[in-house]
Amino acid sequence: MVKRFEDLTLQDDFMFCKVMQNTDLCKRLIEMQVSNEKNIPKRMRFYQAAIDISFLDKGNFYNELNDSFIIFICTFDAIGKNRPVYTFENICLEDKNISLHDGTKKVIINAEAFKNTKDKELKEFLEYLKTGKAKSEFTRRIEEMIQTVKQNEQARQEYRLMSTFEMDARYKGFSEGLKQKSIETAKLMKNRGYPISEILLMTGLPEAEIEEL
């Protein structure tokens, strides 16, 4: 059953991507994960490669690569150690005090453990994800952005179109339909001027395929 547009929250992919278009709220590549498909590490690896290839394909050099953070916000504990935040970077296994300094960090945030963090702002954000209660200035800004999106007729039409693709995918069969949904979604996003990195996140299609659409 397709969720009603009026009922969307930050946990829904469509609303999350809309909110993250606000540069004040999102300055890093972030993905929201609400179901544990046990593939987050490999997806992080894919996203890192996509970011770097996209940058280098424009004629830039290796030493010009920007530092990057890939952040997954999860409503479950993806690692299973009951930590609110897991931060990973490349280090030397023989001497863990030696960092590779390749400018990449990967962060998995576990909203389920919001009570375990001493960081007040982080705690309030994670609690907001779990309960929907906006108690801080930051979460209230997110909630205001969500309400603004819900009042936007263009966003409503985009969601209706994406929902139609999803229903078509179920009708045609999961594998074939899901692929077609991704292509149509990518076309829609590309026509509306979304960056390639965001289309990659939403559809999972190869960058080369997106460029050809």
Full residue range of the structural domain in which residue 107 is found: 8-131
User: Could you tell me if residue 46 is inside a domain?
Assistant: yes
Give the N- to C-terminal CA distance of the chain in Å, as an integer. 29
State the average pLDDT for the chain.
80
pLDDT digits (tens, 9 = 90+) for 95-142: 999 999 998 999 998 988 988 988 888 888 888 888 888 888 888 888
User: Could you tell me if residue 150 is inside a domain?
Assistant: no
Rounded to two decimals, the pTM is: 0.58
User: Could you tell me if residue 170 is inside a domain?
Assistant: no
User: Could you tell me if residue 186 is inside a domain?
Assistant: no
User: Could you tell me if residue 39 is inside a domain?
Assistant: yes
Range from 55-64, 99-108, 184-193 that averages highest in pLDDT:
99-108
User: Could you tell me if residue 209 is inside a domain?
Assistant: no
Classified as helix, coil or strand, 31 is: strand
Residue 24 banded pLDDT, cuts 50, 70, 90? low
User: Could you tell me if residue 118 is inside a domain?
Assistant: yes
User: Could you tell me if residue 65 is inside a domain?
Assistant: yes
Report CA 200 to chain centroid distance, whole Å.
Answer: 10
pLDDT attached to residue 91: 94
How many domains in the chain? 1
pLDDT attached to residue 92: 96
- Considering the chain, what percentage of its residues have pLDDT values greater than 70? 84
Q: Which residues of 119-151 are buried (b: 16+ CB within 10 A; e: fewer)?
A: eeebbbbbbbbeeeebebebbeebbebbeebbe
Residue 29 banded pLDDT, cuts 50, 70, 90? very low
Average pLDDT over residues 166-195: 68
Instruction: Tell me how far CA of residue 207 lies from CA of 22, 151, 183, 199, in angstroms.
Output: 23, 32, 12, 9
